[in-house]
Amino acid sequence: MEVSNSNQVALPSMSLDETIEQIIGRFGWSQFMQAILVSIPAFFDAQQTFISIYADAVPKWHCNTFDTSCNPKSNICKLPRSSWSWDEPSHYSIISDWGLECASSFITSLPASSFYIGSLIGGFTFAILGDFCLGRKNLLYLSSLIMSVTALLTAFSTNIWVYSSLRFVSGLSRSSVITCSLILLTERIGKRLRSQVGTTAFFSYALGLLSLPAVAYTNRGSSWRILFLYTSIPAIFYFIITYFFVYESPRWLFMQGRDKEAIAILKRIACIEDRILDSYLSNIHHRQEIPKVNPYTSMKDLFKRNWALKRILAAMVIGFGVGVVYFGMLLGVGNLNFSIYLSVIFNASLLIPSNLLTLLFISRWKRKSSLFAFCTISGICSIICVMVGKGREGIQIGLELASFFCSSLAFNVLLMFTIELFPTSVRNSATSLARQAVALGSVFDPVLISIGRKNEFLSFGIFGLTMLLCGFFVIVLPETRGKALCNTMDEQESKDSTMV
């Protein structure tokens, strides 16, 4: 390269994607701080996603000593209320607080199901906003703030119906948190470290889940309302304070024709010499403009183009299976006759090594083969967990942990895989659809877990079978490891045709 009179470096003609790659290819301090700030919303998302494990728990009870007719194995609904008492204070969970111990499975599972139904609807409703008017950053913070404020209001619920409605709104708003975090991370990092940095959101999510049993155990003698207060108030302060320090995705800004804003952000996160940076930025100024993409047209293309339709449907089917097991294992730990605090801690602890493995090997793993293997092993372990039967809690919890571990690996790989399968113009929408398929799988978990207290096959058995069947759909997807990201549907289609 030669230095021109303007003290800039003469550069060969490059596409916009290649230019951005050269500017942000190195990972510096600014990008590191941005990765941390963008990953933390996943911490609070995990707390609200699984808070029902404790807030909606069915408390244990004991017979009062003065009543000899009471039997610990009796049906609690057939005993006089004066003959038994809760082991914990009555305000421990919504079940004991509102006297729902004899309510139907539909009623007791309604709050959790409402949350996941809200997540499902919100993903389809808000997904396009991340590709269109709001962008990655604004959608991330708006979703996270509404989720946290709703959680705060949930602490003041007066009955199961108000509680379920607020949980629905919370699920509706948080549906885009993980998706926006991942995309905002990956679109601002060069392809060399894109996969590794993207996993920081998974680590944050794992820490959020791991913190939940600690907060619940510390306040085990307090009301379930306190749990909502302790998990929502810090989140609200965080989102208000850090909003002004997080940058938008330069790629998305370029797609919206907001070049000046995109260039300003590239200057802040670049880790190259100023004279080289100026040359790259000059190259951007003289590039051919990318026409602003209509998001509705792009979404239409997502379903009109055969290759895109095949990819999104396959990703959604796999996501459904992953969601059934991933959320089912965590929500169903109460059915295994094991400590509800230790069970969640064990499962949450496994997210750390699963995320670490993803971080270390995602650049080496082939997406298709690794995703298929994780789905298969997870499904088999879940089915064997049922076959072992009750009375062998140690073996059961071991198989449950193995199944959850593999499902979390499958979840991580699926999200990274989906991000790489689609161009910038529809990446948020496509990833949200796959993410919402995961949410769809979780919608059925509370009901299956409730009826699974009498027949474990209706919970863990169905979890495993679903995962096994859905895993086979990975066969129709192309391998994406090490491939560059495209910006438009036409560019993606052209690139795929050239590769074929």
The more confident residue out of 183 and 66 is 183
Question: How far is it, in rounded angstroms, from Cα 466 to Cα 266?
Answer: 44
* Domain locations in the chain as residue ranges: 16-59+90-499
- pLDDT, tens digit (0-9, with 9 covering 90-100), for 284-305: 654 544 555 555 566 677 788 8
3-state secondary structure the chain: CCECCCCCECCCCCCHHHHHHHHHCCCCHHHHHHHHHHHHHHHHHHHHHHCHHHHCCCCCEEECCCCCCCCCCCCHHHCCHHHEEECCCCCCCHHHHCCCCCCCHHHHHHHHHHHHHHHHHHHHHHHHHHHCCCHHHHHHHHHHHHHHHHHHHHCCCCCHHHHHHHHHHHHHHHCCHHHHHHHHHHCCCCCCCHHHHHCHHHHHHHHHHHHHHHHHHHCCCCCHHHHHHHHHHHHHHHHHHHHHHCCCCHHHHHHCCCHHHHHHHHHHHCCCCHHHHHHHHHHHHCCCCCCCCCHHHHHHHHHHCHHHHHHHHHHHHHHHHHHHHHHHHHHCHHHHCCCHHHHHHHHHHHHHHHHHHHHHHCCCCCHHHHHHHHHHHHHHHHHHHHHHCCCCHHHHHHHHHHHHHHHHHHHHHHHHHHHHHCCHHHHHHHHHHHHHHHHHHHHCHHHHHHHCCCCHHHCHHHHHHHHHHHHHHHHHCCCCCCCCCCCCHHHHHHHHHHHC
pLDDT value of residue 12:
54
pLDDT value of residue 389:
67
The more confident residue out of 473 and 185 is 473
Question: How far is it, in rounded angstroms, from Cα 295 to Cα 293?
Answer: 6
Q: What token pair was written down for 157?
A: 């619920």
Question: How far is it, in rounded angstroms, from Cα 419 to Cα 475?
Answer: 17
User: With pLDDT > 90 as the criterion, what percentage of the chain qualifies?
Assistant: 26
57-66, 123-132, 294-303: segment of lowest average pLDDT = 294-303
The more confident residue out of 410 and 291 is 410
The more confident residue out of 16 and 96 is 96
87-101, 188-202, 316-330: segment of lowest average pLDDT = 188-202
Question: How far is it, in rounded angstroms, from Cα 497 to Cα 500?
Answer: 5
pLDDT value of residue 334:
65
114-123, 224-233, 269-278: segment of lowest average pLDDT = 269-278
**Selection from 25-29, 293-297, 398-402, 445-449 with the highest mean pLDDT:** 398-402
Span 158-174, average pLDDT? 94
The more confident residue out of 265 and 91 is 91
Please state, as a whole number, how many other Cβ atoms lie within 10 Å of the Cβ of residue 158: 8
Question: pLDDT class for 211, splitting at 50, 70, 90?
Answer: very high
Name the residue among 163, 148, 184, 129 with its Cα closest to residue 49. 148
Residue 77 has pLDDT above 50, yes or no: yes
118-122, 386-390, 430-434: segment of lowest average pLDDT = 386-390
The domain made up of 16-59+90-499 has a fold known as Growth Hormone; Chain: A; (1.20.1250)
- pLDDT, tens digit (0-9, with 9 covering 90-100), for 311-341: 999 999 999 999 999 888 887 766 666 677 8
Q: What token pair was written down for 116?
A: 């996941």
Q: Are 119 and 436 in contact (CB under 8 A)?
A: yes
98-112, 292-306, 418-432: segment of lowest average pLDDT = 292-306
pTM reported for the whole predicted model: 0.76
Residue 3 has pLDDT above 60, yes or no: no
Question: pLDDT class for 147, splitting at 50, 70, 90?
Answer: very high
- pLDDT, tens digit (0-9, with 9 covering 90-100), for 338-395: 677 888 888 888 888 887 888 777 778 888 999 999 999 999 998 998 887 666 777 8
The position carrying tokens 């907001």 is: 258
Q: Are 224 and 93 in contact (CB under 8 A)?
A: yes
Q: In a 10 Å sphere around its CB, with 0-12 CB exposed, 13-18 middle and 19+ buried, how is residue 289 labelled?
A: exposed
Query: In whole numbers, what is the pLDDT of the chain averaged over residues?
Result: 82
pLDDT value of residue 22:
66
Q: In a 10 Å sphere around its CB, with 0-12 CB exposed, 13-18 middle and 19+ buried, how is residue 12 labelled?
A: exposed
Please state, as a whole number, how many other Cβ atoms lie within 10 Å of the Cβ of residue 293: 21
Rounded to 10°, the helix 306-331/367-388 angle is 30
The more confident residue out of 321 and 71 is 321
